[in-house]
Each structure stands twice: as C-alpha cells, then as structure tokens.
C-alpha cells in the first residue's frame, strides 16, 4: 500500500489567529478562494514561501455543528499521511473577549476564532473541471484521477487499526495539484469506526445523490457508504453529469456501451484495445459500487485490486500523455451568455429552455489555471441577472435600516443559516420607512456575509420568480437591496409564522384544528397548482412545511423560491439537475438520478399531507429502524382504512372527520407513490381537497377494534415526536 507520500513528516503547526490574518491580508476578498458550509477559504503565504489554504470557520450560529466539524477534520487529518489525501499544515483555536453592543448596551462577549490550514492545491476541486462536453481531461487523466481517489479511500479504510469513513466523498471534495494528482479533502463529516461494524447517525449527513439507499432509509453507516459515493463519483468522471442522469433509464450493459461510444467519439478514432478495456472496466466497477444492496458492492480494497489488473499499457501511457490540455487562450472565442436568466419574449419572465445562444459577451470574470507550458483551463463565472419588475422596488440600505429601527434586537423575528429576519414598517403607498405602528409591517430578511443560502443564483431566483408571480397563496415580495456587502429581501409580514412551527408546537404556536389543517392544505395545493400550470411551468423543488407561512386568517402562503426552476418544455420529459432541497421531502427518483419533474413537487406535497395528518416530523432517527422516514412509518397504516386512526395527530383530541381523513390518506398515498407516473396532478389534488372542505363537520373519532382502543398520541420530549400505539404492541 502506498501510504508514504511526498508530504513532510512534520506535525501540523498551531498557528496564531493574528498570523493567519496577516498572511491572508486580514481575510480579504482578494484572497478568498472558496466557500463551504462551515467556513470560507483564503489563500495565504507563510514566511517560508509555502502557499497554504486557510479555512476560517464561521462563528457559531444555529444549524451548524461547527465544533464537531472542526474536531473531526483536525483530528482525523492528523492521523493520515498519504499522497492522495490533502495535507493538514496547521490549525488555530483561540478564545478571546470582544466588546459588542447588545440591547443598547456594550458587553464583553466570548469569541472563538477557529481555522484549519491545508496545502494549497493549484488545480482546485474536481467538480470545477468536469463537464458534459469537454473539460480538457482525456481518458488517461481521468483514469489517473480515479485510481488516486481509490487509493486514498483505501488508505482511509484500511491504513490503520481504526478505519476512517469519509461520508461526503464527491467531486467537490476532491482537490487536484499542479500535476492533476487527486487528493481527498473536507473531512468535516468523517468518523472513526471499526471496519466491520454497522453504525447509525441521529441526523442527516452527506450530500444528496451521493448517499446510499440504506442510509437514506435507515441511517445505517458501513464502509459501503463511501463505496457508493465513490461509484457515483467515478460515473460522473467517466460520463459527465448528464451521462450519469441517463443511468436510471437503461440497463448496465446499455450504459457501458453508451459511455464507450462517447469515448470513441471524443478520441475521434477507434480506441485501442487497452483503452477500451480500461473504459469498460471502470464503468463496470462503478456500477457495482452503486448497487442498491450494499452486500453486492465491492470493498474499496477489491476496487483497488481490480484497477491494478487493468492492462499495464494504460499505466505506461500515463507517463507519455500530456494531461489536462485545452485550447490556448487566444483560441478561446465565441463565448456566449447563457440565457437561463434572460427575459422570454412570450412570458416576460424566463426563457423556457436553458443554454440558448445569446449576444456575444465582451468581458467575463474568469480564472485561469496553468495546466501545461502552452495551455490553460478557463472557467467562466457569469453573474446571474435580476430582471426588472414594476412590482418589485429596489430599496436603499439606509431606508431598510430606518424601517427596522437600525435592526434592533426587539425587531428580530427569527434567524437561521441564511441570516436574520427583522420586523420593519414602511408606507403602504410610497414604501418609504415610517414610524413603528404606522404604515404596513414587512419582514426584512438580511442575508449574512457567511450565508449558506446567500448566493447570487439563490437570490436572483427568489427575486425573479416572486417579482413576476401573483397569487393569493404566494408570499408577496415588496423588493430587495443589493448594496456593497448588504443583501436584503423585503416581504409582506406573515404574522402566524411557518406551518412547521404549528405542527411541532415551537414557541407560542398552537396546534391547528382539523378544519384549519384542511384549509392550509388546500391553500398550499392551489399555490403548487398555479406554479405547475402551463402558463408558468415552474417546479418549486423545495416544498415543505417550513416554506408554508400562515397569515392572520390561516391562509397558506408559499415562500422560499430560491431553488425553483422552470419545468421542461417541448419534447423534454424532465430536467437533470444537482439534487437539492430539504432532506426527507425529495422524491426517490430525483435522489437517484437527478431527474426533476413536476411529479417531484407532488411527492413533496404527499409528505406534507402525512405531516399534517400525524403531526410527526418527516425524519426522526429516534423512531424504530425502518421507520425514521415518515413515509415508511405511515404507509402500512394508511394502506388499511381501519388503521388510519392510528396515525392521526393526538393534538386533534379526536376532533376530525373520519371520512375526510380517509380521503386525505388516500391522496397522500397517491402522491408518494414510488412510480411518478401514478402520482396525481396538483389540479387533481386541489379537487380532492375542495371536496373535503364540503365534507361533514368534524366529529369525535374513537375506534374500538377487537376490544382494544387504538389511539395515537404524540410524545414531544425535547421537541421530537414519536407514536405510541396502545393495544398494537408498538411504541
């Protein structure tokens, strides 16, 4: 095993935070080279001349277990030395006191400064190089990358007494040096295990699309978790993102042939026998790695052994081929703007298809990476466009500061990974700031600079969709502010908060009655039906109870359009996208293939109906094995009419219409059907819910079966829910 590398044997250094500030120019934007879920990455140069990458972890805020991430990444990387694993140069963990303003007073607060320092890798992350047409990587370069990833993962699993499971292996976490040598990085989710044990987690980890079925369904972790992620990664290296999306529509042999023909075309000649063998072998290995049954997946040691048996001629040619060659910069011509965010003549909102040729662009933001003596790789970064709208105002930062009383603590409505939301007051006609208690109340979302969602694409989608759509069940966007580092969105104020707060009784929110639940479900259904209609053709993609807000009259308002996309048009049956959204709501076919259709939203709606029926969380690792996901937990009861009462939320106190509950249960089952073609349309769902509204008055529903009383109760210790089914022998 190649566990000795070119790395220095020196232990990682304990850097002072002051030194890291100096070498990164006070963590300036000019030195920033990356952003992640737990921190920003900056380039710095030590006195020795060594260039390093400094990951400055975010200060603690809700939603991020950054202490655990820091400890995992630091301690696990200290244990390893391998040429295919990124080298930890040093770390910083300092606690200091800082004088800050709090509720109008100045107080001393404890501040933790944490950073991790890595070797700087000129090639950047692998995902930035992969594309469906050409990334400058030939077969030999890709084989070298695949082999290096496998050897690095094999070292993690088998290089010491305690195995390290990475748990987030993907192209974005694989870095390339100047010679395109791959190095596995980002160990924030990694864990130490005995290589033979099966473990479980109490929360979702990893990246959708790279997580194996046994983890999605039961939270089980074994070495085969990483093997599954490896298989997805190899397929994307070999076939590209679009090629990977075709896997679900064909047999293994058809897919192997498709990839083989792709490489024949790419090489513009009949591939040599050893190259042909290598292409097929890599795809065969990858397909075995992504087997749904983890027992059928190979171990990483077996994968490395199979790669070593590939014709030695491939290895010999690796030393002769100049890798990662692309066109000289003077030959890169005819760059065109992507029209995905440009106005469509018919709708005035979006073009219905992405990637159309637009006007020639005169300049672009680009990054050149030196790959060989006479070529560079060019990556183009075109900023997303916010479209003008007569219904959306551009606010000044000063006016929003006045409207929220300088963002005082007593105007804070809530906060999350994106930043904070404040209450503000503006004039109903001029939309200028006014005194509290006058005008209209608005919710001002102030995105943090270190925001997980504060990216331009997310913000542009939010503004462009809500700025051009109007429906009683959609939240109203008054406007936005983009000034220097300030990014703010201004919405109508929805006084009763989000639906999930009522279902799980957070804060002062009270549980909803049956009639109110049906009203909310109908309003949410109408919002989705409006988005799905032919005139708009929008897939929401992140539908769930946290994105449904309730006004004073409990009218549902759909919010959070940052991940919405235009649906397929013409002969297209689906879109192919990276898997994003909220854990637990995503449709199985979307997780598996990245194929996105309106039926994915309908699956989400079915999950929402189950939430509203049961009052239970979509994902709860404290439920018994096989029942952590609400769909798996509820399906056996909903499939039998006499068991439906077992899943009804105990907070209803038995006050509900049983006939209506049967109809809602049947609709929910249709919506979460594994076959997308068998799911109803949202118009059909609206019709069912409108019929329920006309149903009989709620009644006290008690049920006697075989002399046993079957009821459902919810135990919400520490805000978590579970069922206790008395008489049924389960808890």
Q: Annotated active-site positions, please?
A: 542
Residue 434: Cβ within 10 Å count: 17
Enumerate long-range contacts of 407-416, CB under 8 Å, 24 or more apart: 407/446, 408/104, 409/102, 409/103, 410/103, 413/443, 415/61, 415/62, 416/62, 416/63
Query: Which residues sit opposite 579 in a β-bridge?
Result: none
Gap between the Cα atoms of 195 and 222, Å rounded = 8
445 among annotated binding-site residues: yes
Tell me: is residue 56 an annotated ligand-binding position: yes
Q: Which residues of 354-382 are buried (b: 16+ CB within 10 A; e: fewer)?
A: eeeeeeeeeeeeeeebebeeebbbbbeee
- C-alpha pair distances (Å), 682 with each of 41, 225, 599, 601, 705: 43, 36, 9, 9, 35
Q: d(Cα 112, Cα 56) in Å, to the nearest integer?
A: 11
Exposed e or buried b per residue across 22-33, where buried means at least 16 C-beta atoms within 10 angstroms of its C-beta: ebbeebeeebee
Residue found under tokens 């000063």: 398
**CA–CA gap between residue 349 and residue 385 (Å, rounded):** 12
Q: What are the CA-CA distances from residue 702 to residues 114, 475, 518, 568, 650 (Å)?
A: 56, 38, 20, 47, 11
CA distances 577 to 242, 291, 565, 597, Å, are: 9, 22, 10, 10
| Helices 658-671 and 514-532, packing angle to 10 deg | 30
Phi, psi of 12, deg, nearest 5: -55, 140
Strands of 476-564, DSSP E:
477-483, 486-492, 538-539, 548-550, 556-558
What is residue 413's three-state secondary structure?
strand
Pull the structure tokens for residue 172.
Answer: 């974005």
CA dist 175 → 109, 129, 149 (Å): 37, 10, 10
CA 490, CA 136: separation in Å to the nearest integer?
44
Asked if 351 and 344 count as a contact pair (C-beta separation under 8 A), the reply is: yes
Q: What is the DSSP letter of 616?
A: -
Write the CA distances from 294 to 166, 222, 224, 627, integer angstroms.
Answer: 17, 9, 6, 19
Mode of pairing for the β-strands spanning 477-483 and 393-394: parallel
Q: What DSSP element (H or E) covers 582?
A: none
Phi, psi (degrees; rounded to nearest 5) at 367: -130, 125
Annotated binding site for ATP: 56, 445
Annotated binding site: 56, 445
């Amino acid at each position: 095993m190649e566990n000795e590398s070119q790395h220095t044997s020196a232990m990682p250094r304990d850097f002072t935070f002051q030194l890291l500030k100096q070498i990164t120019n006070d963590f300036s934007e000019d030195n920033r080279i990356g952003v992640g879920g737990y921190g920003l990455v900056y380039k710095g140069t030590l006195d020795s001349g060594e260039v390093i990458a400094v990951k400055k972890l975010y200060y603690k805020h809700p939603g991020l277990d950054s202490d655990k991430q820091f400890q995992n990444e630091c301690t696990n990387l200290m244990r390893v030395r391998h040429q295919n694993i990124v080298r930890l140069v040093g770390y910083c963990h300092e606690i200091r006191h800082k004088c800050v303003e709090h509720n109008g007073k100045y107080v001393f607060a404890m501040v933790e400064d944490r950073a991790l320092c890595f070797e700087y890798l000129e090639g950047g992350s692998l995902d930035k190089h992969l594309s469906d047409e050409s990334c400058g990587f030939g077969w030999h370069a890709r084989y070298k990358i695949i082999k290096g990833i496998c050897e690095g993962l094999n070292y993690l699993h088998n290089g010491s007494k305690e195995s390290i499971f990475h748990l987030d292996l993907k192209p974005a976490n694989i870095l390339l040096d100047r010679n395109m040598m791959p190095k596995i990085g980002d160990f924030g989710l990694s864990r130490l295990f005995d290589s033979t044990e099966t473990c479980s987690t109490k929360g979702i980890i990893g990246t959708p699309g790279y997580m194996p079925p046994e983890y999605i369904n039961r939270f089980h972790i074994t070495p085969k978790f990483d093997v599954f992620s490896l298989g997805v990664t190899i397929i994307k290296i070999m076939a590209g993102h679009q090629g990977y999306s075709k896997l679900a529509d064909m047999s293994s042999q058809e897919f192997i042939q498709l990839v083989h023909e792709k490489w024949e075309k790419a090489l513009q000649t009949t591939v040599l026998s050893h190259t042909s063998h290598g292409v097929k072998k890599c795809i065969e290995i990858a397909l075995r790695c992504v087997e749904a049954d983890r027992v059928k997946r190979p171990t990483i040691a077996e994968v490395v052994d199979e790669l070593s048996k590939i014709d030695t001629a491939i290895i010999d040619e690796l030393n002769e081929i100049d890798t990662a060659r692309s066109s000289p910069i003077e030959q890169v011509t005819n760059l065109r703007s992507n029209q995905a965010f440009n106005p469509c003549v018919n709708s005035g909102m979006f073009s219905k298809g992405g990637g159309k040729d637009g006007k020639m662009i005169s300049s672009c933001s680009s990054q050149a990476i030196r790959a060989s003596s006479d070529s560079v790789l060019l990556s183009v970064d075109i900023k997303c466009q916010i479209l003008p709208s007569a219904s959306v105002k551009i606010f000044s930062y000063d006016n929003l500061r006045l409207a929220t009383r300088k963002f005082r603590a007593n105007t804070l409505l809530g906060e999350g990974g994106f930043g904070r939301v404040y209450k503000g007051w503006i004039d109903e006609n001029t939309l200028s700031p006014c005194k509290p208690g006058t005008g209209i109340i608005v919710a001002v979302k102030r995105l943090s600079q270190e925001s997980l969602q504060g990216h331009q694409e997310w913000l542009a989608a939010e503004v462009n969709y809500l700025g051009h759509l109007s429906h009683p069940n959609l939240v109203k966007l008054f406007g936005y502010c983009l000034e220097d580092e300030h990014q703010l969105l201004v919405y109508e104020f929805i006084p009763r908060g989000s639906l999930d707060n009522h279902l799980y009784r957070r804060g002062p929110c009270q549980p909803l009655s049956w009639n109110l639940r049906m009203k909310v479900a109908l309003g949410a259904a109408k919002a989705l039906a409006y988005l799905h209609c032919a005139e708009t053709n929008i897939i929401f993609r992140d539908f769930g109870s946290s994105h449904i807000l309730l006004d004073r009259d409990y009218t549902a308002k759909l919010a959070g359009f940052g991940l919405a996309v235009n649906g397929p048009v013409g002969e297209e049956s689906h879109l192919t996208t990276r898997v994003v959204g909220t854990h637990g709501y995503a449709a199985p076919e979307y997780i598996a293939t990245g194929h996105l259709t309106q039926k994915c939203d309908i699956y989400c709606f079915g999950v929402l109906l189950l939430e509203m029926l049961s009052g239970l969380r979509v994902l709860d690792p404290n439920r018994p094995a096989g029942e952590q996901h609400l769909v798996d937990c509820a399906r056996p009861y909903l499939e039998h009419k006499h068991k439906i009462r077992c899943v009804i939320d105990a907070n209803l106190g038995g006050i509900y219409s049983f006939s209506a509950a049967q109809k809602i249960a049947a609709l929910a089952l249709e919506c979460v059907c594994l076959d997308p073609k068998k799911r109803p349309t949202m118009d059909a769902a609206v019709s069912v819910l409108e019929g329920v509204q006309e149903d009989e008055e709620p009644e006290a529903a008690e049920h006697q079966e075989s002399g046993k009383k079957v009821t459902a109760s919810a135990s919400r210790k520490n805000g978590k829910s579970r069922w206790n089914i008395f008489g049924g022998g389960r808890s």
